[in-house]
Structures are given as structure tokens and as C-alpha cells.
Amino acid sequence: MSQNSQTPRGEMVTFMLNGAEVQADPNWNLLEAIQFYGIDIPTLCYDEGLTPYGVCRLCVVEIGSGDRTKLVTSCMHPVREGLEVRTHSNRVIKTRKMIMELLIARCPSSKKLQDMAALLELKEVRFKPLNDDCILCGLCVRMCEEQMVAKAIGFAGRGTDRYITTPFDMTSEECRRCGACMYICPACELRCQGPQAETVLCSGCINTEPVCASEYGDAMCFMVPCLSCVKGPEDVK
């Protein structure tokens, strides 16, 4: 951040967080500052070890005062001197609820989304359920690229046809089957669990039922054959 990098290290910026004056490291983004001060706001596409991507929009906060206020994604917005930040205004809550409603209509069976929806007190979903399993948060893509330096998966298509895949939709030569993509997936409960929970790579499925995706083709890990799942393509009709 060019503006922040001009601030000498160690010098803090001061801004208003929910009415209280707080200080933060100028290199932080707003979300880091908000979490530092113990305020819990939902997020799905953010991970502190990865470059912020700003797509789930759940971490929106309201900044500004009077007539000049707007929503910004706190994971992308730098902390700045004199900002006025509200993390739970009516406008923010209304927005987060609608986003959650959209997400849960897309992936109704995700345990993580259900829990987050409950915390947001979402009571009704007015859209037709799509029973999909990916929310396109891109955590796996960034994990693969930034932490595993493999670039084995990425986004393809656009708009409603956007999906995450390997190059040319084929077994990826770049994939080392490390399982990091599954580890970081926030919506994968239904996706990658094998019957022998202790041997699977991400272990994210230990407590969930059913034990395996009903069809191999539903599995969303990018490994063929899937190492975390005892089923291979030959087991599927």
C-alpha cells in the first residue's frame, strides 16, 4: 500500500472503530485491526496466510460519516488515519445477511455456511436451493499458488459458469497431491471425506456424515485418483 508504506514503521495510525479511538499498525488491513481488537466479523475467503481476495464480501464494514458513508471489504481496505469504521451497523448486517442467504441457497448442505447463517440469525432463504458444493472463495487456488507454489488449480469460465479446476479439466501435472486445497476449503464437509478418517489428508471430515460423496464425480478434490477417498474411478458406474 503506497500510502501506508510512507508511514515509518512503528508509528501507529489512529482511527475510530465502533465509536472508540483505536490504534493500528499502518501495514494492517482493516480486518486485521478489527480482529486484533477482538471484534468478531464473518469471513469466508480470508486466511491470514494468503493474499486477501475480497470476494465473499461478508467482512464488509461501513466507513465514513454523515451522508458520505460506504461499505468496504475490511480484508482489502488498508487502515488509514482518521477512518470511521462501523462493523455492525444496520446496513452492514442487512448486507451480510443477504450475502449469506445467497450463499446458502447455492450450497445448502455446507455445515460451515449453516453455522455462519445461524450466527447471522438468517431465518429464511427466499431463493431456490441449487445444491452446489463450491462457493468460489478461491482459498484453494491461492493456497495452491502461494503456499504450495504449484499453480495446479485455478479459475475457469466466467460469471455463473465460473468454476475451479485443473488446467484443461484434466489431471494436473503440476499437482503434488498435497491436499492443501482440501485442508483450506471452508465448504468441503461433503466433499472429501473418506471412510477412514484418520488416514485422510485434511481430516476435515472426521465428524461428518455421510462418510463419502455418493458418487466419485461429486468429489471436488483435484486428484485422480483421490488419495483421501478409497474409491477410484473404477468404483463408480
Partner 1 sequence: MVKSINELESLRSQIQSERDSNRPRITVCGGTGCHASGCTEVASTFEENLDSGGLANKIDLVVTGCHGFCERGPIVIIFPQGVFYQKVTPEDVGEIIDTTVENGGIVERLQYKDPVTNEIKVKEEDIPFYQKQKRLVMGNNTSIDPTNVNDYLAVDGYSALAKALGSTPETVIDEVKRSGLRGRGGGGFPTGRKWESTRNAPGDIKYVICNADEGDPGAYMDRSILEGNPHSVLEGMIIGAYATGANEGYIYVRNEYPLAVANITTAIRVAREMGLLGDNIMGSGFDFDVKVNRGGGAFVCGESTALMASLEGKPGEPRAKYVHTSDKGLWDRPSNLNNVETWANVPLIINKGADWYAGIGTDSSKGTKVFSLVGKINNTGLVEVPMGMTLREIIFDIGGGIPDGKAFKAVQTGGPSGGCIPESMIDLAVDYEQLAEAGSMMGSGGMIVMDEDTCMVDVARYFISFLIEESCGKCVPCREGLLRMGEILTDITEGRGKMEDLDLIRDLSEVLKDASLCGLGQTAPNPVLSTLKYFEDEYVAHIKDHRCPAGVCTELITYSIDAGNCTGCGLCLKKCPSEAIMGDKKQPHVLDVEKCIKCGICYDVCRFDAVSKE
Partner 2 sequence: MTVDESRLDSIIDEYNAEPGSLISILQDIQAEYNYLPAESLEYVASRLNIPRVQVFGVATFFKAFSLKPKGKQQIHVCMGTACHVRGSKRVLEELERKLEIKAGDTTENGEYTLETVNCVGACALGPVVVENEEYHGQMTPIKVENLLNGK
Site residues (vs partner 1, CB under 8 A): 1-3, 54-57, 60, 70-73, 76-78, 91, 94-95, 98-99, 102-103, 105-106, 126-128, 135-136, 155, 157-162
Contacted by 70, from partner 1, partner 2, none: CB < 5 to 8 Å by type:
partner 1
Distance of closest approach, residue 116 Cβ to partner 1, in angstroms: 13
Q: In angstroms, rounded to a whole number, what is the distance separating the alpha carbons of residues 179 and 192?
A: 10
DSSP 142: H
Among 33, 48, 139, CA closest to 87: 33
* Sign of the Cα pseudo-torsion (84, 87, 90, 92, in order): positive
**d(Cα 205, Cα 211) in Å, to the nearest integer?**
8
Instruction: Answer whether 162's CB lies under 8 Å from 136's CB.
Output: yes
- Spell 8-23 as b/e; 16+ CB within 10 A means b: eeeeebebebeeeebe
In the bound complex, what is the minimum distance in angstroms from residue 161's beta carbon to partner 2? 8
Task: Return the one option of partner 1, partner 2, none that residue 174 interacts with (CB less than 5 to 8 A, by type).
Answer: partner 2
**What residue ranges bind partner 2 (CB under 8 A)?**
151-158, 165-168, 172-174
Q: What is the distance between the alpha carbons of residues 73 and 55, in angstroms, rounded to a whole number?
A: 9
Extract the C-alpha cell encoding 48. 491470514
Residue 142, contacted partner among partner 1, partner 2, none, CB below 5-8 A by kind: none
Closest separation between CB of residue 26 and partner 1, Å? 13
Question: What is the DSSP pairing of strand 13-17 with strand 84-86?
Answer: parallel
Q: Are 39 and 17 in contact (CB under 8 A)?
A: yes
Contact 50, 146 (CB under 8 A): yes
Nearest residue (CB) to partner 2, 98 versus 156:
156
Residue nearer to partner 2 on the CB measure, 9 or 158 = 158
Residue 55 partner contact from partner 2, partner 1, none using kind-dependent CB cut-offs of 5 to 8 Å:
partner 1
CB of 156 to partner 1, least distance (A): 9
Q: Which CB atom, from 79 or from 213, has the smaller least distance to partner 1?
A: 79
Which does residue 102 bind out of partner 2, partner 1, none, counting CB within 5 to 8 angstroms by kind?
partner 1
List of residues 6+ apart from 70 with CB closer than 8 A: 62, 63, 64
Whichever of 77 and 86 has its CB closer to partner 1, that residue is 77
Q: Report in angstroms how near the CB of residue 51 gets to partner 2 at its nearest.
A: 16
Our CB check for partner 1 shows the closer of 1 and 230 to be 1
